[in-house]
Chains A and B, each alone.
Chain A
Amino acid sequence: MSGPAGSPAPDGNLEGDLSHLPRRARVTTLLVAWAVLGCAVLAAQRDVAPALRLPLVAYLFLVAPGSCLLIGPRMRIPADRLLFMVLVVTLSVSVNVLLAQLLVQLGRLSASSHSVGLGALLLISSLAASLPRRHGPR
């Protein structure tokens, strides 16, 4: 379990270069970076060597959420790293399935519409996460 935001983690690990930022800003930075990177990769997909496309997409949808752990924020909940990982991967998989389903219902499933939709969803959610709000009762 980690310490409060801004303090070193009890196990002595470093939090990375983003550690001076508030936790919410770190989450937002991470998600926006992920979304922008995703959109850029997907937009340039045709120019990528065929052998690299699948590893790249696998990285984007599976490894990247997992690797958020390496630079991601510490959450003040038990098993924080693992929980964060499960949250992000579940979110990623669920959004993928739901978006693909929606596009099929609309009869418009294609790789480009899926990637644009996914990128937009990620951007919206990451920007929404950065909106200032009052802390609820603890």
Chain B
Amino acid sequence: MSVERAGRSSVRMHPKAGRSAVRERTGAARTIHVVRTVRPGALLQHAGWPVSSLLCFVFALAGLSAANPSGISGYGLVTAMPASTLIGIAGLVLCFATGFVFRASPRWLTLTVVLMMTVLVLAPLAVEKEARFSTAWLHAGLAEYIGRTGHVLADRDARYSWPGFFAAAAAFAALGGVRPVQLLPLAPLVLNLLYLLPLTLLIRTFLQDARLRVVALLLWVVGNWVGQDYFAPQGLNIFLYLSFAALLLTCLSAEPAQGPGVRFLSFALRLKGPPLQLGDRQLGARGRTVVLVTLLLSYGASVVSHQLTQFFVLLMVLAVLVAGATKLRSLPAVLALLTVSYVLWGAQEYWIGHLADITGGIGRVQSSVQQNLTSRVASVTEPERLTVLRTRLAMTAALWALAIVGLLRRRRRAKTVLLMLASAPFGTLALQSYGGEALLRVHLASLPFLVILAADAFALPRATSRGSRAVAVVAMAAVTLAMTLGFLVARFGNEAFEQMTPSAVRGVQAFYRLAPPGATLFTLTHSTPGGYQEQESHVTQVLRPSPWDDYAAAMRTLDQASGPAYLLLTKEQWEHAKIQSSVSDAEARALQKALQARPDFATAWTDGSTVLLVTGVTRTGG
């Protein structure tokens, strides 16, 4: 028996009583009897799920340590993952499906989802040994420059005009006594864990069934194939976006949603039931003020750190207003004012020279969709690449299909708000094509609401026989497993050129060690870990035109470089060239041989796989 005292309360543990807690109040003093009996059968039943999940997790992770990165093919990481890892992931899926159907505790189901997410997110790092994605390395360079100088190079890169994330990362790294580039490997895991906080709050606002909430969480994990959760402003901004949505809908949407959008959709889709009423009337004026200030601060953080997320937030607020779920009618105007003010003040170096780029896409929805979808798929001839792109489309279509099934299975009028929130991000297509990436970001911004709608597709009937439960386990496991495999292909399908091999990293390190200030590192494609430091004195740029397009012109570009020019040749660049420009293996080998044999080039560094050439040797005399 144990007794703890907290103020005037005391808690007593009775060894013989049941699992529930019994409270007694006796006058001023309160006594709480918390009585628990642990039965071996119950312990086994409750411990079974987490132990199975943990075993599968350990099995999957242990397999990853033995993975061979040379197995990465045109289908991406999945072909390099050992069988034990795939079995471990399948085991986690099966644990989840069985636990869901047999009504395991939502806590353990959540643990299974978190373990699954950890394996999926850590897989590329475990296989490839270095942080993936060249853009992340470039971002580390932006943070490094800001941290070292306290200034930005606004004329060098558009991202310097929205430096909030890089500045915060620089300060964070300096406080921790590390370089920004050292934050890269674990950034995806930290960000994904952060997302789960607001996402869980958002999901529980809409879904009553605790197990369906975990299904929504799982769908988020396997549906988030867009891969923006790396060391990047958008990585952090997804967290701000989810937080904004969660806080707005949980605390500041206490009105019954009966706006024109809800009325129209309810009529069109024949949805019944009372209007959605979120938020909490108990919160009080002060509580609402605290939340509103937090919302404005988080929007401010988004405005100064990423160009696109703020528009998603703005569209989300508009959707909530059209749904009639909030009375904050002036909020969109305040948010828009913040955006315009910052662009005029903080990002003037960018917009003064690029006004046409910013405003050129407004209203051109068809062109935007064409850039984002049609041209992406139509220009690809490689069958493996085509499979990856089609998997991405299929994953997105599957999630929308599940959302529709969920909507039709439970025709609730309250769901119109979710439908509006999931559709609102498409409005950005009317503003910008965002370099052909807007549709990817739209999917990501729709996803939190889509998974809540889709979770209802997995709702189980109250009374089920043993046979139907077995069918449900098989069906649930099949759908989840298909989506998890789809995730691995869609998300990590570009690993052949998005991985950064240790050899390539050593090649770039050699450049920084050997090249004098003012030197330029030329690369064949974007697929290189360049630019992670000294951005003011060492430039990294892609060689244009490419040597496989116009060899002579490419050599002239190198010859005309303003300072010393270096050329980096890596395995992943050739892989990128094969996929992006249909360069054959034979062409790649011939080009590499020709470049290395040039009399005016000298090998500055090589480890057999990566070669760093210094150009213009005869011109400069050595």
Provide the bound-state CA to CA distance between A87 and B243, in Å: 8
Provide the bound-state CA to CA distance between A79 and B304, in Å: 30
Q: Is B77 an interface residue (CB 8 A)?
A: no
Q: Is the CB of B32 within 8 A of A100?
A: no
Q: Is the CB of B150 within 8 A of A86?
A: no
Q: Which listed segment binds A: B116-124, B164-172, B216-224, B555-563?
A: B164-172
With both beta carbons as reference points, the residue of chain A lying nearest to B306 in the complex is identified as A97
Given contacts A75-B287, A101-B164, contact A90 B294 (CB under 8 A): yes
Mostly, the A contact residues are helix
Q: Is A132 an interface residue (CB 8 A)?
A: no
Given contacts A14-B4, A16-B6, A90-B198, contact A104 B280 (CB under 8 A): no
Q: Is the CB of B6 within 8 A of A14?
A: yes
Residue of B151, B201, B236, B300 near A83 (CB, 8 A) is: B201
Q: Is B21 an interface residue (CB 8 A)?
A: yes
Q: Is the CB of A77 within 8 A of B164?
A: no
With both beta carbons as reference points, the residue of chain A lying nearest to B190 in the complex is identified as A62
Q: Mark B220-250, 1 if CB is under 8 A from A, else 0.
A: 0000000000000000100110010011001
Q: Is B608 an interface residue (CB 8 A)?
A: no
How many residue pairs link A and B with beta carbons under 8 A? The number is 179
Residue of A16, A79, A101, A135 near B250 (CB, 8 A) is: A79
Provide the bound-state CA to CA distance between A105 and B11, in Å: 54
Provide the bound-state CA to CA distance between A104 and B161, in Å: 11
The tally of residues in A whose CB lies under 8 Å from a CB in B reads: 58
Q: Is the CB of A138 within 8 A of B284?
A: yes
Q: Which residues of A contact B346 (CB under 8 A)?
A: 101, 105
Q: Is A96 an interface residue (CB 8 A)?
A: yes
Q: Is the CB of B197 within 8 A of A85?
A: yes
Q: Is the CB of A42 within 8 A of B175?
A: yes
Q: Which residues of B contact A136 (CB under 8 A)?
A: 284-286
Q: Is the CB of B7 within 8 A of A87?
A: no
Q: Mark A65-101, 1 if CB is under 8 A from B, else 0.
A: 0100000000111110011011101110111111111
Q: Is the CB of A54 within 8 A of B247?
A: no
B window 365-379: CB within 8 A of A:
none
Q: Is B308 an interface residue (CB 8 A)?
A: no
Interface centre among B30, B150, B167, by most chain A C-beta atoms within 10 angstroms, is B167
Q: Is B115 an interface residue (CB 8 A)?
A: no
With both beta carbons as reference points, the residue of chain A lying nearest to B243 in the complex is identified as A90
Given contacts A19-B7, A100-B168, contact A115 B175 (CB under 8 A): yes
Q: Is the CB of B305 within 8 A of A97?
A: yes
Provide the bound-state CA to CA distance between A92 and B98, in Å: 38
Q: Is A30 an interface residue (CB 8 A)?
A: no
Provide the bound-state CA to CA distance between A104 and B246, in Å: 30
Q: Which residues of A contact B301 (CB under 8 A)?
A: 93-98, 101
A window 93-138: CB within 8 A of B:
93-101, 103-105, 107-111, 114-115, 133, 135-138
Interface residues of A (CB under 8 A from B): 8, 11-12, 14-17, 19-20, 42, 45, 48, 50, 53-54, 56-58, 61-62, 66, 75-79, 82-83, 85-87, 89-91, 93-101, 103-105, 107-111, 114-115, 133, 135-138
8 shortest interchain CB distances as A-B pairs: A136-B285, A111-B174, A54-B176, A100-B167, A53-B177, A114-B171, A20-B7, A97-B301
Known: A82-B204, A103-B167. 15 other contacts (CB 8 A): A8-B23, A12-B11, A15-B6, A19-B7, A53-B176, A57-B176, A61-B172, A76-B284, A79-B250, A82-B200, A87-B291, A89-B197, A96-B172, A100-B167, A109-B171
